[in-house]
């Protein structure tokens, strides 16, 4: 035993337990920092701390009441802040430790996506191609038109041809297969950058990258610019070499040689 003061006894295992718990709470706080969930999270921590001292003081009635409040608060917290909690698990999935055990097989899709993106850019045909990595996209696949077809430049070109019945929405690619087309993606709350307003495709690509571990390749219908959204960050005006490198690397260390979009939330 390391410390023994009255009701408080502390061992090395207890210290390790406290350090791990502190790290978890710190990670949650940093993930939710800047959102409304931060205030609720701080309130929950306050109640937990008060509950600890009440239990240590053996105040049974007050301890029972605080425990009921904590139980209700935790359930409410999970329901109200589901997007933030989901983002925590997405960030865990993106960590190097988890990726070591996951095979992110996108190599054989890179050429087809790059060739299609360049041609679509030249023709100024809008496109949104979602390349899945660690996170499953089953719910989004089921909401679109399921294809399960081998990926190719010709297939992507035909899907995003303006008169095609499948050109609206996103295409979801997993490994070497186009799983579905005309899929609806969640829109990001970000509506503009310091350079321009974001269209629906850019907001959709950015929105799905905020919630899941994907690479969203976006071709602008207005300008023909090629962009990638990853981890809630938009990299715009990419060359074909930058696009190819981004898809091959599939890491969070990518920095575009062109400008990196500075995002700001719509305050209206």
Domains by residue range for the chain, with CATH? 3-100 (no CATH), 107-265 (3.40.1700.10)
* pLDDT at residue 7 tops 90: no
Higher pLDDT, 98 or 55: 55
Strands 177-183, 170-174: pairing is: antiparallel
Q: Mean pLDDT in the chain?
A: 76
**pLDDT, tens digit (0-9, with 9 covering 90-100), for 110-130:** 889 999 999 999 999 999 999
Higher pLDDT, 7 or 209: 209
**pLDDT, tens digit (0-9, with 9 covering 90-100), for 151-205:** 999 999 999 998 889 988 999 998 888 999 999 999 988 877 665 678 899 999 9
Backbone φ and ψ of 229, nearest 5°: -110, 130
pLDDT of residue 9: 67
Task: Identify which of 208, 215, 207 has the alpha carbon closest to the alpha carbon of residue 238.
Answer: 215
**pLDDT, tens digit (0-9, with 9 covering 90-100), for 23-44:** 877 776 676 666 556 666 677 7
- 127 burial level (CB within 10 Å; 0-12, 13-18, 19+): buried
SS3 101: coil
pLDDT of residue 116: 93
Give the number of residues written for the chain.
268
* pLDDT band, residue 50 (cuts 50/70/90): confident
pLDDT of residue 137: 82
pLDDT of residue 217: 95
Task: Please report how many Cα atoms fall inside a 13 Å half-sphere around the Cα of residue 67, on the Cβ side.
Answer: 8
Over residues 219-241, the mean pLDDT reads 89
What percentage of residues in the chain have a pLDDT greater than 90?
A: 27
Q: Which residues pair with 172 in a beta bridge?
A: 130, 180
pLDDT of residue 212: 85
With tokens 């009440």, the residue in question is 54
Over residues 210-235, the mean pLDDT reads 89
pLDDT of residue 127: 95
Whole-number Å distance between alpha carbons of 239 and 174: 23
Over residues 224-231, the mean pLDDT reads 90
Whole-number Å distance between alpha carbons of 267 and 115: 38
Report how far Cα 37 is from the mean position of its chain's Cα atoms: 17
Whole-number Å distance between alpha carbons of 122 and 157: 12
**pLDDT, tens digit (0-9, with 9 covering 90-100), for 237-255:** 898 888 888 888 764 333 3
């Amino acid at each position: 035993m390391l410390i023994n003061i009255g009701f408080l006894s502390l061992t090395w295992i207890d210290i390790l337990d406290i350090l791990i718990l502190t790290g978890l709470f710190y990670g949650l706080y940093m993930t939710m920092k800047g959102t409304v969930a931060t205030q609720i999270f701080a309130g929950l921590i306050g109640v937990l701390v008060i509950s600890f001292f009440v239990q240590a003081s053996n105040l049974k009635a007050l301890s029972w009441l605080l425990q009921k409040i904590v139980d209700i608060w935790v359930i409410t917290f999970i329901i109200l802040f589901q997007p933030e909690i989901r983002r925590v698990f997405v960030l865990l999935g993106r960590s190097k430790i988890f990726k070591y055990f996951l095979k992110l097989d996108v190599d054989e899709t890179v050429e087809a996506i790059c060739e299609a993106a360049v041609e679509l850019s030249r023709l100024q045909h809008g496109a949104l191609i979602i390349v899945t990595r660690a996170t499953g996209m089953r719910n989004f696949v089921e909401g679109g038109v399921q294809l399960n077809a081998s990926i190719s430049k010709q297939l992507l070109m035909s899907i995003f041809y303006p008169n095609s019945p499948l050109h609206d929405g996103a295409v979801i690619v997993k490994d070497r297969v186009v799983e579905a087309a005309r899929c609806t993606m969640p829109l990001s709350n970000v509506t503009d950058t310091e350079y321009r307003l974001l269209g629906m495709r850019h907001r959709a690509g950015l929105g799905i990258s905020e919630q899941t571990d994907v690479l969203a390749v976006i071709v602008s219908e207005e300008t023909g610019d090629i962009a990638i959204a990853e981890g809630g960050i938009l990299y715009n005006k990419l060359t074909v070499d930058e696009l190819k490198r981004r898809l091959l690397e599939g890491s969070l260390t990518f920095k575009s040689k062109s400008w990196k979009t500075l995002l700001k939330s719509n305050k209206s």
